[in-house]
Amino acid sequence: MKMSLYIGREASKLWKRASAEAVTEGILLADNWKYLLAGIFCQYLHGLAAHGVHYLHRPGPTLQDTGFFLLPELGLERAYVSETLFTFIFVSFILWTFHPFIFKNKKIYTVLLWCRVLAYLVVCQALRVVTFYSTQLPGPNYHCREGSPSARLPPPKDAIEIITINFPDGLVHGCGDLIFSSHMIFTLVSVITYYRYGTNRFIKQLGWVLAVIQSLLIIASRKHYSVDVVVAWYTVNLVVFFVEKKLPELPDRMAMTMLPLSTKDKDSWSKEESHKLSMSALVDPSSDRNQRLRSPANGKTTIEDGNALLIADSQ
């Protein structure tokens, strides 16, 4: 009986927390849906470009590669290992981005974070498309080698075949889109984003370890040449560095927590007022509402770069 009451009480709290977060994220989504839609559409364009270069692919002898020499070949029967690790990394990252709907302590806004992630991905993928269309290398993967039926694609029969990217085979058995690795783009963007905005130190360190293991597995699976992985490592990190320079600082929800100025003023700060003030700083960081605000009590409140900070005067 007590357990049932406890579960019911916690479920009610979780529902209220998720509902409140949905309202907050909904406001942000209304202001940023165009950026999200554009980023998602660019994912389709990237897939379209990767499928298009497959028509240009010509199989040939596997190029000499240092990674192939140093790492034993996993073989076709164990090629799933790298895909399994990649899926684990990226799915874990996606679930983490939605943790504000579940957990009480939260640092990020899901909508704003995904706007940032998509910006990273779009820039990296644009550079990738330019690179693999510049030079087509013979694919080292098993389905891209001479003799494989999918190594060469016949000319498309119609526009529908191109637009649909021959889904799903066009995504799974692509050839020619080598430099640089798309798997490493998604892996590194996930790891870097959590490193910047996550809170658990162990997971941050684990993320880098898994990224290194993922790199080695991709090469050992012969899905990419070593150069594809190496170029991805420094390109993605540089892209994130320069994109961050251009984007406004992401609001830190922990720093935006509003505290009462004194015991006397505690009741004057309602939850609704705190929420409105936080949202005004978040939605439009450059507006007049985001300038310095002074309270009538013994203290002052300032809002700078979307973060609400309370500095109470010493008594």
- Tell me if residue 139 falls in helix, strand or coil: coil
Q: Round to whole Å and give the CA distance between 135 and 127.
A: 13
- Phi then psi for residue 304, to 5 deg, are -130, 130
Nearest CA among 100, 93, 52, 97 for reference residue 185 = 93
Nearest CA among 117, 128, 154 for reference residue 49 = 128
Does residue 176 come out as left (phi exceeding 0), alpha (psi in the -120 to 50 range) or beta? Answer: left
Q: Which of 183, 252, 275, 313 is catalytic?
A: 183
Any idea which residue has 């420094």 for tokens? 234
Q: Distance of alpha carbon 283 from its chain centroid, rounded? A: 21
Residue 195, token pair as written in the block: 């490193």
Q: Which of 224, 265, 267, 284 is catalytic?
A: 224
> Is there a catalytic annotation at residue 305?
no
Contacts 24+ apart (CB under 8 A), 289-296: 295/261, 295/265
Any idea which residue has 């990419």 for tokens? 224
> Is there a catalytic annotation at residue 99?
no
Does residue 165 come out as left (phi exceeding 0), alpha (psi in the -120 to 50 range) or beta? Answer: left
Q: Which of 228, 267, 305, 313 is catalytic?
A: 228
Which residues are annotated as catalytic?
183, 224, 228
